[in-house]
Amino acid sequence: MEIEKEAITSLDVARRAGVSQSAVSRAFTPGASIAADKRERIIAAAEELGYRPNPLARSLLRGRSNIVGVGVGYLTNPFFTQTLQLLSDALDGAGLRLMLFPAQGSTRPEPSIHEILHYRIDALVLLSVSPSSTLTEQCRRAQVPVIHYNRTTPAQDASCVVGDNETGARAIAAHLLAGRHRRFAFMAGTADSSTNAQREAGFTEYLAERGAPAPIREDGAFDFDTAMAATRRLLLRKDRPEAIFCANDTMALAAITVARHEFGLDVGREISIAGYDDVPMAAWPGFSLTSYSQPAAFMVAETLRLILSLRTDADRHEQVVAQGSLVVRGSTRPVGA
Amino acid sequence: MEIEKEAITSLDVARRAGVSQSAVSRAFTPGASIAADKRERIIAAAEELGYRPNPLARSLLRGRSNIVGVGVGYLTNPFFTQTLQLLSDALDGAGLRLMLFPAQGSTRPEPSIHEILHYRIDALVLLSVSPSSTLTEQCRRAQVPVIHYNRTTPAQDASCVVGDNETGARAIAAHLLAGRHRRFAFMAGTADSSTNAQREAGFTEYLAERGAPAPIREDGAFDFDTAMAATRRLLLRKDRPEAIFCANDTMALAAITVARHEFGLDVGREISIAGYDDVPMAAWPGFSLTSYSQPAAFMVAETLRLILSLRTDADRHEQVVAQGSLVVRGSTRPVGA
DNA sequence: CTGAAAGCGCTAACAT
DNA sequence: ATGTTAGCGCTTTCAG
| Complete DSSP assignment for A23-83 | HHHHHTSTT----HHHHHHHHHHHHHHT----HHHHHHHHS--SEEEEEES-TTSHHHHHH
Output the tens digit of pLDDT for each of chain A's 337 residues. Answer: 333 457 899 999 999 999 999 999 999 998 888 999 999 999 999 999 999 999 999 999 999 999 999 999 889 899 999 999 999 999 999 999 999 999 875 445 577 888 999 999 999 999 988 888 888 888 988 899 999 999 998 778 889 999 999 999 999 999 999 999 999 999 999 988 999 999 999 999 999 999 999 999 999 999 999 999 999 999 999 999 999 999 999 999 999 999 999 999 999 999 999 999 999 999 999 999 999 999 999 999 999 999 999 998 888 999 999 999 999 999 999 987 5
CATH homologous superfamily of domain A5-53? lambda repressor-like DNA-binding domains (1.10.260.40)
- Rounded to the nearest angstrom, the minimum Cα separation between B211 and chain A is 36
Strands B67-72 and B123-127: parallel
How far is C-alpha A223 from the chain's CA centre? 17
Q: What is the C-alpha separation between A235 and A260, in angstroms, rounded?
A: 11
Nearest alpha-carbon partner for A56 in B64, B197, B111, B294: B64
Q: Is A324 exposed, middle or buried (0-12, 13-18, 19+ CB in 10 A)?
A: buried
| Closest nt by CA–C1' to A54 | C9
Contact B159, B189 (CB under 8 A): no
Q: Give me the long-range contacts of B132-141 (CB less than 8 A, separation at least 24).
A: B132/B107, B132/B108, B134/B109, B135/B109, B135/B110, B138/B113, B138/B114, B139/B314, B140/B314, B140/B315, B141/A5
Nearest alpha-carbon partner for B4 in A137, A309, A142, A314: A142
Do the Cβ atoms of A81 and B82 come within 8 Å? no
Interface with chain B: mutation pick from A56, A80, A284, highest number of B CBs within 10 Å: A56
A106 touches B: beta carbon within 8 Å:
no
Planar angle of CA A111, A98, B157, nearest 5 degrees: 105
Q: How far is CA A17 from CA A23, A28, A31, A49, A327, in A?
A: 10, 14, 21, 11, 61
Q: Using an 8 Å CB-CB cutoff, list chain A residues near B224.
A: 280, 284
Q: What is the C-alpha separation between A76 and B80, in angstroms, rounded?
A: 10
- Rounded to the nearest angstrom, the minimum Cα separation between B178 and chain A is 27
Mean pLDDT of B12-29: 96
Do the Cβ atoms of A100 and B101 come within 8 Å? no
Q: Decide: helix, strand or coil at residue A208.
A: helix
Contact A99, A66 (CB under 8 A): no
Mean pLDDT of B82-109: 86
Contact A242, A212 (CB under 8 A): no
DSSP of B5-22: -PPP-HHHHHHHHTS-HH
CB-based contacts with strand D under 7 Å? A 19-23, 26, 33-35, 38, 57, 60-61, 63; B 6-7, 9-11, 21-22, 24-26, 28-29, 51-54, 57-58, 60-62
Do the Cβ atoms of B75 and A82 come within 8 Å? yes
Q: Which pLDDT value is given to residue A28?
A: 96
Res. B138 pLDDT band, cuts 50 70 90: confident
Q: What is the C-alpha separation between A119 and A56, in angstroms, rounded?
A: 10
Strand order of the β-sheet with A184-188 is A216-219, A184-188, A243-246, A272-274
List pLDDT tens digits, range B227-284: 999 999 999 999 999 999 999 999 999 999 999 999 999 999 999 999 999 999 999 9
Interface of A with B in 115-144 (CB under 8 A): 115-116, 118-120, 141-142
B321 touches A: beta carbon within 8 Å:
no
Q: How far is CA B219 from CA B34, B178, B190, in A?
A: 63, 25, 8
Higher pLDDT pick, B320 / B133: B320
CATH homologous superfamily of domain B165-293? Response regulator (3.40.50.2300)
DSSP state of B122: S
CA atoms within 13 A on the CB side of A106: 6
DSSP state of A263: T
Same fold, B5-53 and B67-164+296-324: no
Sequence-ordered list of residues with C-beta below 8 angstroms from that of A100, at least 6 positions apart, any chain: A70, A72, A84, B70, B84, B88, B98, B99, B100
Q: Which pLDDT value is given to residue B105?
A: 52
Where in chain A are the domains? Answer: 5-53, 67-164+296-324, 165-293
The beta-carbon neighbor of A285 closest among B102, B257, B285 is B257
Region A67-164+296-324: CATH code: 3.40.50.2300
Beta-carbon neighbour count of residue A87 at 10 Å? 27
